[in-house]
Amino acid sequence: MNKKTRLLMGFLVLVVIAAYGLAVNLPTFISKSPALDTGKALAQPMELLAFDLVDHRGKPFQYENLKKKWSLVFFGYSSCPDVCPTTVYKLAEIYKLLGQDTALSQPPQVVFISIDPERDTPEKLKKYLASFNPEFIGVTGSLNEIKKITSKLSVYFQKVGDNDGENYLYEMNHTAGIFLTNPDGKLVASFKPTANPEELSLDIKRVLL
Point out the least confidently predicted range of 76-90, 157-171, 184-198. Answer: 157-171
Average pLDDT over residues 111-131: 97
- Determine the number of helices (DSSP H) and then strands (DSSP E) in the chain: 5, 10
Point out the least confidently predicted range of 27-31, 98-102, 184-188. Answer: 27-31
- The answer to whether residue 13 scores a pLDDT higher than 70 is no
Q: Mean pLDDT score of the chain, rounded to an integer? A: 86
Tens-place pLDDT, residues 55-110? 999 999 999 999 999 999 999 999 999 999 999 999 999 999 999 998 999 999 99
Q: What is the pLDDT of residue 2?
A: 53
- Nearest-angstrom CA–CA distance, 95 and 117: 25
Between 153 and 26, where is the model more confident?
Answer: 153
Task: Calculate what percentage of the chain has a pLDDT beyond 90.
Answer: 75
Q: What is the pLDDT of residue 166?
A: 61
- Nearest-angstrom CA–CA distance, 62 and 106: 22
- The answer to whether residue 28 scores a pLDDT higher than 90 is no
Burial of 100 per CB tally in 10 Å (0-12, 13-18, 19+): exposed
- The answer to whether residue 23 scores a pLDDT higher than 80 is no
- Nearest-angstrom CA–CA distance, 56 and 125: 6
- Nearest-angstrom CA–CA distance, 111 and 108: 9
Q: What is the pLDDT of residue 34?
A: 79
Query: How many CB atoms sit inside 10 A of residue 65's CB?
Result: 19
